[in-house]
Structure formats: C-alpha cells, structure tokens
Structure 1
C-alpha cells in the first residue's frame, strides 16, 4: 500500500469518527449536569449551598456564644493570681489558649463558607465561558468540514 493510499484511508477513518469535544453532554447533545459520560467535574449547587450555610451558621454561633466563659475565666485567673494561688497562671493559659483556638475555628468556618460561595460563583462563570468557547469552536469546525 502506498503512502497516499494509507493517508487517504486514515483521513476517511478520521472523518467517520466525531472529533468534537463534548463537555457535560451526551452524544445526542442534551445537557445533563452531573451525568456526563466521563465528566470530571460535577458540582451540585444545593450541596455546596448546604455546606456553606452550615459553616456560616457555626461561625455565627461561635461568634456569639463561643466566648461567653472567657471573661469569667479571666476574672477567676486574676483573683487566683492575686490570692497567690499557682492555679491562676494555669487558668490564664487556658484563657489564652481558648481565645486562640476559638479564633482559629471561627476563621476556618468563615473560610469554608466564603470559599464555597466563591467556588459556586466561579464554577458558573467557568461553565458559561466554556460553553461559549465550545460553541465558537463548533461553528469553526462546521465551517472547515
């Protein structure tokens, strides 16, 4: 078989197969989010929203109620220290550690909530950009057929 014959056969085989990229679509072209064959990114807004709401609710709860014992703990540590009890310095350390850990936990909850909100927004923007780009590529592909 000559090179030209082999090349013609390869072109014929390639033209018989679909060379279009399909994102979040089935071969019939119907959009089915989360059910794309071989899709590698599935985001369900309701799931992200629920997780983000829980993280925000926990943040609000910690902000309002997580610090209730701190003033009393500080007062007790001060009273014990002024009474020359060594337990006072340990209670100061508990007070300081609680404040630090509470701050870290609130920050983590806020980060989760904000990140999920950002991820949802960014995913929607990316989907729109990709869909627009694929539409343009598809039109170009049709032109060169």
Structure 2
C-alpha cells in the first residue's frame, strides 16, 4: 500500500514528482480572502451577537429562555473572535511570507551579481 502517491505517467501526473508548488499570486489570493473574511465576519458576527443578546435580555424577565439566549450570544462571540484571530493570523502570515520571500529573492539576485563581478575582476587581474 502506498499513500500520497502521484503517478508520473503522462496522464495528468506531475512532472515535479508530486511536490507542492505555490506562487506569489496564490499566496496573495489566500491572504486577500482571509482578510475579506475577517472584515465581513467582524461586521456580520456582531449583528448576530447583538440581536441574540437583545432578545435574551428582553426575554429574561418572563421566560427561562432569556438567560439561555444570552449564554448563546456569549458563546457565539467567543467563536467569532476565535475565527477572527485565525483569519488575521492567516492573512498576516501570508503577507510576512510574501515579504520575506521577496527579500530573499532580492538578496540572492544581488549576491549572485556581486559574485559574478568579483569573478570577472579576478580573471582580468590574472588571479
């Protein structure tokens, strides 16, 4: 038995041997989606919490369901905050990854050019 197997037989299999590849465009799209979800969830999650809390408070005096609704609103708020934190973490991490990758690429490109220049100078100097 073999898990996570990728055929490389020309029928749509990967010439890369199954390696995961992702580009800057992909990272940007995921980060953007996480940011948009964070923004929307923050606004819409508050609407649900507020209306549930209002209903719970209004029903508190006359119905046993009132305190239960207030508890639901509190738990809802905790869950929304957990999701907001996760979305922010994803968005921030991907922005960091993109920035770091760009810095690494710049460093490599710059380093390579200097090494080529040094090699050329040494060759001309007869070293």
What is the CA distance between 1:72 and its match in structure 2? 1.9
CA distance in structure 2 between the partners assigned to 1:55 and 1:41 by the alignment: 21
CA distance in structure 1 between the partners assigned to 2:22 and 2:57 by the alignment: 52
What is the CA distance between 1:98 and its match in structure 2? 0.5
| 2:87 aligned partner | 109
Q: State whether residues 27 and 94 of structure 2, in contact with CA within 8 Å, keep that contact through their aligned partners in structure 1.
A: yes
Which of 34, 44, 47 is 2:23 aligned to? 44
1:79 to 1:117, Cα distance in 2 relative to 1, 3 A: same
CA distance in structure 2 between the partners assigned to 1:141 and 1:101 by the alignment: 59
RMSD over equivalenced CA pairs, Å: 2.7
What is the CA distance between 1:77 and its match in structure 2? 1.2
Which of 21, 33, 42 is 1:54 aligned to? 33
What is the CA distance between 1:137 and its match in structure 2? 4.3
1:75 to 1:41, Cα distance in 2 relative to 1, 3 A: closer
What's the TM-score once normalised by structure 2's chain length?
0.68
What is the CA distance between 1:41 and its match in structure 2? 9.2
CA distance in structure 2 between the partners assigned to 1:106 and 1:98 by the alignment: 12
Are residue 119 (structure 1) and residue 119 (structure 2) matched? no
Higher relative contact order (CA 8 A, sep 6+): 2
CA distance in structure 2 between the partners assigned to 1:78 and 1:121 by the alignment: 47
Q: For residue 60 of structure 2, give the secondary structure of its aligned residue in structure 1.
A: helix
1:29-53 residue CA offsets vs partner (Å, 9 max, x unmatched): xxxxxxxx9xx99551111111111
Gaps of 5+ in 2: 1-15
Which of 76, 79, 89 is 2:55 aligned to? 76
CA distance in structure 2 between the partners assigned to 1:114 and 1:135 by the alignment: 32
CA distance in structure 1 between the partners assigned to 2:48 and 2:37 by the alignment: 18
Larger Rg: 1
CA distance in structure 2 between the partners assigned to 1:77 and 1:54 by the alignment: 33
